Structure 1
Amino acid sequence: MQNMWIVFLIIGLVVLGLLVLLIIAARYQRDYWRYLNIPHERPKKLWPIIRQIMTQTLSTESMKAKHYGDIYTKFKGSGPFCGFYALLQPRALILDRELIRQIMIKDFWNFNDRGMYCNQKSDPLSGDLYGLRGESWKEMRQKLDPSFEGDRMSWLYGCMYEEAEQLLLTVSTTLMKQPHSTIHIQKIMRRYILSALAKCVFGLDAQQRHKYPFETFEQMTEMALNSHKHGYLMNLMMIRFPNFCRLLRFRRTPKPVEDYFLGVLTDIVEQREKSGVQTQDYLQLLVGVKAQELITHKYEEDKELKMHLQNELAAHAVVFLKAGYEQTANTLSYVLYELARHSKLQARVREEVKKATERCAGNLNYECIQSLTFMGQVINETLRMHPITPYIMRRTLNNYPVPDHPKYVLVKELFLIIPTHAIHHDPDIYPDPEVFKPDRWSGPRDSLQEQGTWFGFGVGARSCIGIQFAQMQLKLALALLLSEYEFTLNSRKPLVDLEDGIALTLTPLGVIEPGNEERAV
């Protein structure tokens, strides 16, 4: 009996010791930046953190943008970075432009981790450029870069042009069905971008859509982007302890999503490989990358290798949905919103499209689209005011002492935040930041990227690989729509709200509405 008490006492002491260590660790985490004497935002009280974890309350992108913006404004000029806390985890918010350049460009290889969980073996669709890090990311980027060269984009132009024409038909049909000429433009833009990706990247042309209906493709895309296999806490654990979670074979992609996209792409790729027919879309370029990989390996008939390469191909295709669907549709909606607010700028873009088309003998070809300089400035300014993401996240691979600031060290595995929205709206960088001024971009855009002050498509080696692809989609849609319609704000709902949609009024060019005769003259 006495031995049992001794055992219970030892167990009690061990549990007590663990609790004390846990409290000390939590206390150290909460005072991490204070111990280092780095300017920082104090952490929340313990109870709100526990309540947030228990209720699984998630911050929206707009809430994060405001939070990071407030920290940026409060600590700007205090040092190269400041500290803050995500729940109990210390993170760094980058303040200095030179440090941004070092992170994104100069010393990029120490910061090429986006802080996202991926597991290629158990979750093949997660093994894309968005989630990979280190040498794995570098190898994949080198394989895919040639697919986005200028000549490849001109090769894809016909495929994209057909979808842009279909967008014009959709807008016309929608206006005919409605008694008023006001439409929620974002919903139509989302369908246009998704349909273009389905056709150009997944090979779902009119014939394939009989077998794989577009409605199912749309449902699976929404499931892939807006649902996960695990809950809030497990997803948090996978981000913070990725190596441990990979050992346990955790995955994020819902199984129905994986089965659908792998099934569709495997079927269509096999059809093309058997027939030998070359289709002018991006999927054909991915098939070429896969074939080149097989040639460079000794055993071309290795089934495991073929499956691995097919899974890679599928991950390459699905990343277009993750990084190019909602982002491009939202940008296109914002461009039209800003042009509706600024009728003179809209007329200027329309005139540029008209002159470019005339120079190309009435043919809106690839060279014609590429020559639309002012339209490009409008897109750049839209991305400044309404960035695709309000912040950029990175995680350090190794300890990084900040040059010329010996007390500041970005330690290994530390999450870094670059507050793009706050920087884009900093009056010290962009005078009158709330004013829409496309002429800001009449000079070279690259200089602003190199200075770490504009992040429209990212900066440095890990910038968006599909920049030219996205720009072509944007310019094509804008050129066709502005050639046919004038866009104005719906007076009943003049404010932007992407969740509810952007309401714009469309008037066919040449049609004069009652009451607008004087304006038309």
Structure 2
Amino acid sequence: MSVPVAPGRWLVLGHTPALLKRRFGFTEGLRAHGDVVRVYLGMLPMYFVTTPELTHRVLVADSASFGKGAMFDKFRPFVGNGLVNSGGPFHLRQRRLVQPAFHHERIARYAEKMEIAVSRLSESWRPGEQREINEDMQALAVTIVGEALFGTEFGRTAIGEARYSIPIVIRHGMVRALSPAFVGPLLVRGNRQFDRAVRRMRAVVGKVITDWRATGADRGDLLSMLLMARDEDGEPMTDQQAYDEVVTLLSAGIETSALALAWLFHEIARHPEVERRVHEEIDQVLSGRRVTADDVPKLTYLQQVVNETLRMYPVWILMRRTLRPVRLGGVALPAGTEVTISPHALHHDPRCFPDPRRFDPDRWTPDRAKEVPRGAFIPFGAGNRMCVGNAFALTEMVVTVATIASRWRLVPVPERPLKVTFTSTAYPARLSMTAVPR
């Protein structure tokens, strides 16, 4: 079966210019050309799957036939071989070591720290004050993940460094990952920033691990759990393995939550009826008290708002590589073939989500949610490589919104319109809002 080639291919550069220029528009347009479409990163062919059914096949049903793809190869030398980048038996081993840190009982303890951090932020606001909410949510996410990972005092320097370096690594890393090898050295300024941020993170996180090894004390944080964990053979993580997982947790935990929260407050402010329903539910469930982990499952409408935000603003693309010959949608792919999925394109597919650009939390009522096909909604991935911290992130989002919205309304500043930049996802580069007491 012949595979259609996406339009817009350049000589030598392939589709890289179109991908970097049009991004979401390019990948959303691929579904019009078929279930599997060939796209070139420079001279490297990759095969985009554009349907939920094939996505589920790649990520879940036949996941053993797929490993991490070229994008992860480019990230691995800089951010290590943590859960996001690793594969095979090593990935399974590391996942088993990391997973206990995200059990339900631990999430409940983290929720208390989350509420304290959010209250500290919201109590610093003043009525009528203009806030850059994207910056506030970034700082908040760094604080929450950093304190859960390192503890408050022990990791203060590492938390500060993560706030500076992690966004640089993720944003410049995406451009580097999508660029042909010969283009990389030409991205001089971005490369310098990227390399400097990686070096700084290595030094700071490495020191935290060394300091912990000196005492070996269980401080009740994530780092302690990682360094005390033992595999089936009784072996611990090495310092390098621990570093890789720490950077992975920082990268994934900060960006996902910070972006989702910024966009969530933006969407609530744009939709008065959504805001009203969020406030009514929070007032009814909390009755003026602080939110706890037990309240999270009771805030059902707020969870729908979170899901709709994650649908609207997901990561742009994921890459896999066939480990053995595979047939996808009638297309025979040999081992070593690059396969690509766009969560953004899937989340905006009108075949699964009618009027996909409309913010509609009621898509996620129980009756409507069960109609969403498998593979159509993958904000945290799927299968055995689903983000291990997804419950942490969802709890963080609900706790943050419940805490802030119980005290404040955030109103857009008309004279400072929203600015958006696009890299691995859509970033609100400026989200100015006025804090108005409720």
Three-state SS of the structure 1 residue aligned to 2:150 is: coil
The structural deviation recorded for 1:481 is 0.6
Q: Would you say the 8 A contact 2:363–2:369 is kept in 1?
A: no
Q: Would you say the 8 A contact 1:42–1:85 is kept in 2?
A: no
1:286 match: 226
Rounded to whole Å, the distance in 2 between the matches of 1:282 and 1:417 is 32
Rounded to whole Å, the distance in 2 between the matches of 1:286 and 1:259 is 19
| 1:29-428 pair list within 5 angstroms | 37-42=2-7, 44-46=9-11, 49=13, 60=20, 63-72=22-31, 74-75=32-33, 78=34, 80-115=35-70, 116-117=72-73, 125-170=79-124, 172=125, 175=126, 181-203=129-151, 205-206=152-153, 209=156, 212=157, 215-222=160-167, 224-225=169-170, 236-237=180-181, 254-271=198-215, 273=216, 276=217, 278-289=218-229, 292-293=230-231, 296-297=234-235, 309-358=238-287, 362-387=289-314, 389-402=315-328, 405=330, 408-428=331-351
The structural deviation recorded for 1:333 is 0.3
Identical pairs, percent: 22
Distance 1:456 1:326, change over 3 A: same
Q: Would you say the 8 A contact 2:161–2:204 is kept in 1?
A: no
Deviation sequence 1:221-262 (CA, Å, 0-9, x none): 45544567xx95998549xxxxxxxxxxxx998444322211
Aligned partner of 1:259: which letter? A
Three-state SS of the structure 2 residue aligned to 1:500 is: strand
Distance 1:445 1:195, change over 3 A: farther
Three-state SS of the structure 1 residue aligned to 2:68 is: coil
Aligned partner of 2:248: which letter? V
The structural deviation recorded for 1:449 is 6.9
Rounded to whole Å, the distance in 1 between the matches of 2:74 and 2:42 is 22
Rounded to whole Å, the distance in 2 between the matches of 1:38 and 1:442 is 38
Q: Would you say the 8 A contact 1:224–1:257 is kept in 2?
A: no
The structural deviation recorded for 1:43 is 6.0
Aligned partner of 2:60: which letter? I
Aligned partner of 1:135: which letter? P
Three-state SS of the structure 2 residue aligned to 1:46 is: coil
Distance 1:165 1:288, change over 3 A: farther
Instruction: Report which of the two has the higher share of strand.
Output: 2
Q: Would you say the 8 A contact 1:202–1:317 is kept in 2?
A: no
Rounded to whole Å, the distance in 2 between the matches of 1:378 and 1:504 is 19
The structural deviation recorded for 1:454 is 0.8
The structural deviation recorded for 1:326 is 2.0
The structural deviation recorded for 1:391 is 2.2
Work out which of the two has the higher radius of gyration on C-alpha atoms and give 1 or 2. 1
Structure 1: runs of 5+ lacking an equivalent: 1-35, 239-250, 298-305, 510-521
Three-state SS of the structure 2 residue aligned to 1:488 is: strand
Deviates more, 1:434-443 or 1:108-117: 108-117
Deviation sequence 1:479-511 (CA, Å, 0-9, x none): 1110111122222244452353112222111xx
Aligned length: 420
Rounded to whole Å, the distance in 2 between the matches of 1:265 and 1:226 is 26
Rounded to whole Å, the distance in 1 between the matches of 2:282 and 2:6 is 49
Aligned partner of 2:73: which letter? Y
Higher relative contact order (CA closer than 8 Å, sequence separation 6+): 2
The structural deviation recorded for 1:128 is 0.2
Aligned partner of 2:27: which letter? Y
Aligned partner of 1:132: which letter? S
CA RMSD of aligned residues (A): 3.3
Distance 1:86 1:222, change over 3 A: closer
Rounded to whole Å, the distance in 1 between the matches of 2:168 and 2:379 is 27
The structural deviation recorded for 1:430 is 1.1
Aligned partner of 1:283: which letter? L
The structural deviation recorded for 1:338 is 0.4
Aligned partner of 1:383: which letter? L
Rounded to whole Å, the distance in 2 between the matches of 1:216 and 1:422 is 33
Aligned partner of 1:71: which letter? L
TM-score, normalising length: structure 2: 0.85
Three-state SS of the structure 1 residue aligned to 2:434 is: strand
Aligned partner of 1:326: which letter? E
Rounded to whole Å, the distance in 1 between the matches of 2:178 and 2:333 is 26
Deviation sequence 1:146-200 (CA, Å, 0-9, x none): 3222122113223322212222134x1xx46xxx533221001100111112211
